[in-house]
Amino acid sequence: MIRRVKQFLDSQNPMLIVGVLLTTLVAIAAIFAPYLAPYDPVEDANLMNSLRPPGEDFLLGTDRQGRDILSRLIFGTRIALLVGIVSQGLNTLIGVLLGASAGLFGGKVDDSIMAFTNMVLSIPPLILALAIMTVLGPGLINILIALGFTQWTYTCRICRAQILSVKEQDFVEAADALGASRFRIALKHILPHVFGPVFVIASLGVGAAILLEASLSFLGVGTQPPTPSWGTMLSSGRTYIWTAPWITISPGVAIMITVLGVNLIGDGLRDKLDPRVKRELDLSD
Amino acid sequence: MPTVVFILTVMFFLLSILPGDAALLAGDPKLAKNPEAMAQIRAKWGLDDPIPLRYLKYMANLLQGDLGTSYRTRQEVGNLILKKLWPTLSLAGLAYLIATPLGLLMGFVSALNRGSWLDFGALSLAIFGVSVPRFWVGLMLMYLFAVLFNGALPSSGFGSVANYVLPCLTLGYPLIALLARTTRSSALEVMEEDYVQTARAKGAPEWRVNLNHVFRNSLMPIITVAGLQLGTLIANTVIVEKIFSWPGLGNLVINSILRRDIPAVQGCILVFTLSIVLINTGVDVFYAYLDPRIRYD
């Protein structure tokens, strides 16, 4: 058994293992947050404890309202993962639907979908998200919408490119010759080839979404206080950077660990894919 | 161009159907209880017109270079933006000019020394570069230089060369990381090509093989990435400007969003998208010029 595990580990990319470990750590923090956090992230505010440096009672110090930063960080994993997973889930769904329609139907459908995709793609995510947040106003749900409906372009393009190349393969022709319906061919013979690259894009996108949420919250148009979002914590710490730098340091480290974890998973999985798909993915970031 | 029109149109309609009385934003809040004054404000700002008519008016004015008037400062949005353009463009341009050669150099050197500690270091730096929030790095730099190095570099303000150092660093380091990564993988791929082998076989010195054959050929995919990144860089000035209180477009757009100064927001988004679309077109043209195999119909 142990030898098996060791063999499995040796056969894997070490970066991938580190990524899985980091992500598991974050996921555990998110699931068991109420048991791990020493204080309540929102309710335990006491101005008597305002701006305490890291010490015995508060491992990472407190913020201006006297809330424990460690507890807020631990609960922040929930917000980060929620934003990353929900928005990326939406993006993947939209991207696969549009990309698959473009690739499978071809012709006018393909042209119009790709024209729209390239248009959305040409605007940097931050500007697009800012424009949407202006319209919707700040808040967690609005962040999910702003990020969930804007980052699907790479998924769409990869999905379409994969389908176009698989469509020409012999086994598709064979299935067609055997009398399989078009629907069956699309579902059973073509679409399974799409999932690998789409998963890679999605896992890289989770990291990007977490960073974008933090950026928007930092700019003041994202998640609003007192929600324990890392971006909001950084934003409120900015004022006290000269006197209480600990408010700012730890949320940044938390973001780094989380994003690094999912990015390493994405990178590791990308390296496992075949080189042709890999090149296409490489250009995507 | 369709992109710019699309974004403007969608934003205009969504912002127009937004709940809340725009007259309250445009006028003095003290007048809110005075219906007569409110009606006057509405008429003055053209808020009584049906939305499609307002859209046509807005677009027509836009074609004449009129971006409307800011609710907040009562200034022409066009003038407001023009004043903020130079700080933003100079910051983005400088960061770009410094980051691009550095990224290329780092990626190429690590490709040549594949598997060495140098390569590992550059690669780790590159992964770090895409995982750390930019604004956090900015804040940490600010803290480091102001507190630990006794204010060796200014952490806010605009005007002197020293003011540019920290914002440029914050804006440019992810680009260095990204370009290093792209250059490395591109150069590694080119090294496997037959013509590199041939060059080596006919006895060309190593530096020449590397420079003339590997480096030049690995540049092509990098140009696309580097070109598109200029747009991203301009977009990210929003964050950097907020950190360092930089008097540019980014700060203008954020302040306008927070105060719901809709004409100003629309103007800023227009300038951002327009500059990015122009850059992307420029990259395409440049690319076709460099690689005669590509011709756009």
Residue A285 — pLDDT band, cuts 50, 70, 90? very low
B46 and B109 both lie in a single domain: no
Alpha-carbon distance B40 to B42, whole Å? 5
For residue B271, being part of any structural domain is answered with no
Q: What mean pLDDT is predicted for residues B22-44?
A: 64
Query: Is the pLDDT reported for residue A50 higher than 90?
Result: no
B10 and B122 both lie in a single domain: no
Q: What is the pLDDT of residue A283?
A: 47
Q: Which residues contact B236 (CB under 8 A, 6 or more apart)?
A: A124, A126, B134, B171, B174
Query: Is the pLDDT reported for residue A90 higher than 90?
Result: yes
Using the Cβ of B238 and the Cβ atoms of chain A, whether some distance falls under 8 Å is answered with: yes
Residue A264 — pLDDT band, cuts 50, 70, 90? confident
B34 and B177 both lie in a single domain: no
Residue B116 — pLDDT band, cuts 50, 70, 90? confident
B93 and B226 both lie in a single domain: yes
The mean of the pLDDT values for chain A is 80
For residue B42, being part of any structural domain is answered with yes
Nearest CA in chain B to A244: B143
How many cross-chain Cβ pairs, A to B, lie less than 8 Å apart?
A: 122
Pinpoint the alpha helices (H) of A124-245. Answer: 125-136, 140-148, 153-167, 170-177, 182-184, 195-219, 230-237
Q: What mean pLDDT is predicted for residues B196-215?
A: 80
Q: How far does the CA of residue B203 sit from the closest CA of chain A (Å)?
A: 31
Question: Do residues B270 and B78 make contact, with C-beta atoms less than 8 angstroms apart?
Answer: no
Residue A11 — pLDDT band, cuts 50, 70, 90? low
Set of chain B residues whose Cβ sits within 8 Å of the Cβ of A259: 131-133
Question: Do residues B75 and B83 make contact, with C-beta atoms less than 8 angstroms apart?
Answer: no
Residue in this structure with the two tokens 């974004």, named with its chain if needed: B7
Query: Alpha-carbon Rg of chain A, whole angstroms?
Result: 22
Indicate if the alpha-carbon torsion angle B28, B33, B38, B40 is positive or negative.
Answer: negative
B99 and B188 both lie in a single domain: yes
Buried b or exposed e, range A261-275, using 16+ CB within 10 angstroms = bbbbbbbbbbeeeee
For residue B54, being part of any structural domain is answered with yes
Q: Which CATH class for the A42-284 domain?
A: mainly alpha
For residue B69, being part of any structural domain is answered with no
Three-point CA angle B109, B112, B113, nearest 5°: 90
For residue B111, being part of any structural domain is answered with yes
Set of chain B residues whose Cβ sits within 8 Å of the Cβ of A23: none
B55 and B92 both lie in a single domain: no
Q: What mean pLDDT is predicted for residues A215-242?
A: 81
Pinpoint the alpha helices (H) of B1-133. Answer: 2-16, 22-26, 35-45, 51-63, 77-112, 117-131
For residue B276, being part of any structural domain is answered with no
Q: What mean pLDDT is predicted for residues A131-143?
A: 84
Alpha-carbon distance B24 to B30, whole Å? 9
- Output B296 or A239, whichever has higher pLDDT: A239
Q: What mean pLDDT is predicted for residues B62-73?
A: 72
B99 and B29 both lie in a single domain: no
Q: Which residues contact A113 (CB under 8 A, 6 or more apart)?
A: A98, A99, A101, A102, A156, A160
B19 and B118 both lie in a single domain: no
Say what percent of chain A tops pLDDT 70.
83
CB atoms within 10 A of CB B17: 9
Using the Cβ of A131 and the Cβ atoms of chain B, whether some distance falls under 8 Å is answered with: yes
Domain with B187 in it:
86-259
Alpha-carbon distance B23 to B219, whole Å? 54
Indicate if the alpha-carbon torsion angle B160, B165, B171, B177 is positive or negative.
Answer: positive
Predicted model pTM = 0.83
Question: Do residues A214 and A273 make contact, with C-beta atoms less than 8 angstroms apart?
Answer: no
B19 and B120 both lie in a single domain: no
For residue B290, being part of any structural domain is answered with no
Long-range Cβ contact pairs of A192-197 (< 8 A, separation 24 or more)? A193/A162, A193/A163, A193/A166, A194/A96, A194/A99, A194/A100, A194/A158, A194/A159, A194/A162, A194/A163, A194/A166, A196/A269, A196/A273, A196/A277, A197/A158, A197/A159, A197/A162, A197/A273, A197/A277, A197/A280, A197/A281
Lowest-confidence segment of A35-49, A257-271, B11-25, B143-157 by average pLDDT: B11-25
Number of domains in chain B: 2
Query: Alpha-carbon Rg of chain B, whole angstroms?
Result: 24
Alpha-carbon distance B254 to A215, whole Å? 12
Nearest CA in chain A to B125: A260
Q: What mean pLDDT is predicted for residues B156-167?
A: 74
Q: What mean pLDDT is predicted for residues B188-199?
A: 81
Q: What is the pLDDT of residue A232?
A: 84
* Contact state of B140 with A252 under an 8 Å Cβ cutoff: yes
- Output A209 or B123, whichever has higher pLDDT: A209
Closest CA to A204 of A145, A130, A284: A284
Lowest-confidence segment of A26-35, A96-105, A200-209 by average pLDDT: A26-35
Residue A284 — pLDDT band, cuts 50, 70, 90? very low
Residue A165: strand pairing partners: none
Query: Is the pLDDT reported for residue B3 higher than 80?
Result: no
Q: What is the pLDDT of residue B29?
A: 59
Which token pair is B164? Answer: 């540019």
Q: Could you give the 3-state DSSP secondary structure of residue B76?
A: strand
* Contact state of B133 with A214 under an 8 Å Cβ cutoff: yes
Which token pair is A229? Answer: 């979002």
Q: How far does the CA of residue B205 sit from the closest CA of chain A (Å)?
A: 30
CATH of the domain at B133: 1.10.3720.10
Assembly ipTM: 0.79
Q: Closest CB to B139: pick one of A211, A248, A264.
A: A248
Which token pair is A47? Answer: 């101005």
Using the Cβ of B201 and the Cβ atoms of chain A, whether some distance falls under 8 Å is answered with: no
Using the Cβ of B269 and the Cβ atoms of chain A, whether some distance falls under 8 Å is answered with: yes
Q: What is the pLDDT of residue A98?
A: 92
For residue B125, being part of any structural domain is answered with yes
Q: What is the pLDDT of residue B297?
A: 46
Query: Is the pLDDT reported for residue A140 higher than 80?
Result: yes
Which token pair is A285? Answer: 């970031």
Q: What mean pLDDT is predicted for residues B153-158?
A: 67
Alpha-carbon distance B96 to B104, whole Å? 12
Q: What is the pLDDT of residue A91?
A: 92
Nearest CA in chain B to A281: B182
Using the Cβ of A263 and the Cβ atoms of chain B, whether some distance falls under 8 Å is answered with: yes
Q: What is the pLDDT of residue A33?
A: 73
Q: How far does the CA of residue A242 sit from the closest CA of chain B (Å)?
A: 7
B56 and B146 both lie in a single domain: no
Query: Is the pLDDT reported for residue A20 higher than 90?
Result: no
B233 and B104 both lie in a single domain: yes
Alpha-carbon distance A216 to A227, whole Å? 14
